[in-house]
Structure 1
Amino acid sequence: MELLDGRLKLRHLVLAVAIEEHGSLLRAAEHLRLAQPAVTRSLRELEGILGVELFVRGPRGATPTLFGTAFTEHARSVLAELRRAGERISGLADGAVGTVTVGTLVAGSNVLLPRAVAALKAARPGITVVVQEATFDAQVPRLLDGEVDLVLGRLNPIDDQPALRQITLYREPVLLVARPGHPVRSRPGLTLADLLDHPWVVPLRQTALRQELEQVFHDAGLPLPGNLVECSSALTVRTLVRDTDMIAALPELVARTDGEIAPLPVALEPVRRTVGVTLPDRRPLTPSARLMLDHLREQAAELTGPRDDPPA
């Protein structure tokens, strides 16, 4: 099948992605500001070019077929590359406008990222910053497809992802925290075992921090606390720790900069968080993404001081 014979147009790619994202021809037409008959004609034209049915139309909307899912994945990747090409050209012209999409992890950098975004916007008000939060496994396909420019947060192993590379920004300890008036604070010689009778909020099972916490308990000959909430939303964790007697493990920068929670005197020496950026190995960064990376490096250096020296 030859798609580069002039029949397949950019509007076909935009149309397919819009229908897949909005779930119906009517909502896609509204999003594209087109009349529904025009969307229907364009979809028929596209399916005629490809020789397959892309969407099953029904009373509840349009559902992508196997062919539709495959085509929209490629269409989304092509559109992302075209966006990046356009931004690269305009960025080379003046460096004043553009868009950078940052993927952040649900247990990610809620101290570093806001500071870097603020610094970037102060220097380049015309650059739009888009932040998308998800787990690392969900971010990788977006990063490879070009929907996300870079992923910021705790570095995850990428041995099985040769198309990715990583830059370490800083390393920090992970501390156990509780509210200032938590009853365990009155207990002398506090140990990890003393905390088992209290409720905990811990990261999800598939996260690296959860695995490391489980190893800490195992090495101490202790079971995991029986009263658990599994959560990796930093805002929810903070609220639970602040408003209840729950105990959590949080990065030092978060634990020491939040006046309504405070570290407990129980060390988690083996657990350290390595924060960094995951990038596509072969795709060059757009000017806006490179500026974002520069500000992340600068803010990381300011946050951690001389104890951590981010790589050049």
Structure 2
Amino acid sequence: MRTIDLLNGRLKLRHLVLVAAIADHGSVVRAAEHLHLAQPAATRSLREVERILGVELFTRGPRGMAPTVFGEAFSAHARSVLAELRRAGERIEGLADARVGTVTVGTLLAGSNVLLPRAIAALKRDRPGVRVVIREATFDVQVPRLLEGEIDLILGRLNPIEDLPGLRQITLYGEPVRLVARRGHPAETASTLADLLAHPWVLPLEQTSLRRELEQVFHAAGLPLPADVVECTSILTVRTLLRDTDMIAALPELVARTDENLAPLPVPLEHVRRQVGVTLPAQRPLTPSAHLMLDHLRRAAAEIIPPPAATAPAPATPA
């Protein structure tokens, strides 16, 4: 099989932009509108890149253009290349003028309500010209964005990355996860996890580490998961459900502590990981703006939960 030479000058940047746009919008027409191109020009460019690659990237269907296996692979690489070019521009801009730039943070539940707002406020006080973009999603959704360069870092509870090469993590602080409900909830007098099964619950999505850990907690107690369940990771929705109903949820302590309408339940969660931090690409250097955000996250974390004080050395005993 021949090796396709994509560095001979035939493949253009506009080809990458178009393929990514068609994959995102599902049709040549909508991609052309998004890119402010005439449809015939967009169709001609798609044919050009397919001739260069020697494969069909999209097939027409009743619901628009669907990527082939080649289209899925090439559009993923196209997005990655375009993201790196955007990052290169942001890095050059940041190096030329440290007062401007862009940092994109992917957030999970933990750290998003106290730590991140404090870090953003401090960053904007120092560098008001820096643009901050926040994208909320689950860890499994954030990782591809991080690896493809769409986001600079992921903030939240640290998930296992042993099977995810190309990532590294920095721990910022430890935070308990508590079972919480509205104040005055009947479960405020509960003493065991079994006492809580009769109530409705809000659980994290199945693909989250907190959901897996909660399942292990119930399994270790010899209990099934609650039967009446809503699955949700939106903190606004979870808070409203907790305040307005008899639902129970497991939340990071800082999330629960900042809502006077919520109260922790007297049932502890054992063996639930409590490390909050950032997940970063292992090889790709951070932009100046991302470095600034990381520095402010570290400072804000130290203010929220100060590190243990060092033990002072004992005074020397006189001879």
Is the TM-score greater than 0.5? yes
* Paired position in structure 1 for 2:137: 134
Distance in structure 1 (CA, Å) of the matches to 2:81 and 2:26 = 21
1:258 Cα offset (Å): 0.7
Indicate yes or no: 2:302 matched with 1:301: yes
Q: Which moved more, 1:204-213 or 1:246-255?
A: 204-213
Shift of 1:286: 0.9
Q: Does 1:225 align with 2:247?
A: no
Instruction: State how far apart, in whole Å, the 2-side matches of 1:15 and 1:308 are.
Output: 55
Q: In 2 relative to 1, CA 303–57 (structure 1 residues): closer, same or farther, beyond 3 Å?
A: same
* Partner SS for 2:134: strand
- Over the residues paired in the alignment, what is the CA RMSD in angstroms? 2.2
Q: Deviations over 1:253-292 (max 9, x none)?
A: 0111111211123333543521110111111001111111
| Deviation of the 1:128 alpha carbon | 2.1
Cα–Cα, structure 1 residues 193 and 20, in superposed 2: closer, same or farther, change >3 Å? closer
Q: CA deviation at 1:98?
A: 1.9
| Offset, 1:213 | 2.6
Separation in 1, partners of 2:130, 2:214: 39
Q: In the alignment, residue 278 of structure 2 is paired with which amino acid? A: V
**How many residues are treated as equivalent by the alignment?**
307
Worse overlay, 160-169 or 109-118:
109-118
SS in 1 for 2:151: coil
Give the Cα–Cα distance (whole angstroms) in 2 for the partners of residues 105 and 47 of structure 1.
38
Percent of residue pairs identical? 76
- Cα distance in 2 between the residues matched to 1:51 and 1:297: 49
Q: Which of 110, 115, 123 is the aligned partner of 1:112?
A: 115
Q: Which residue number in structure 1 is paired with residue 99 of structure 2? A: 96
1:36 to partner: Cα distance = 1.4
Does 1:53 find its partner at 2:93?
A: no
Q: Which runs of 5+ in 1 are unaligned?
A: none
Moved over 6 A (4+): none
Which residues of 2 match residues 213-292 of structure 1 at below 5 A?
213-292=214-293
Check if 1:9 corresponds to 2:12: yes
CA contact (8 A) 1:173 1:269 kept: no
Unaligned runs of at least 5 residues, structure 2: 311-319
CA contact (8 A) 2:110 2:276 kept: no
Task: Report if the CA contact (8 A) 1:174-1:249 is conserved.
Answer: yes
Q: Which amino acid counterpart does residue 274 of structure 2 have in structure 1?
A: R
Structure 1 counterpart of 2:44, from 41, 45, 52: 41
- Calculate the TM-score normalised by the size of structure 1: 0.90
How far apart are the structure 2 equivalents of 1:44 and 1:208? 43
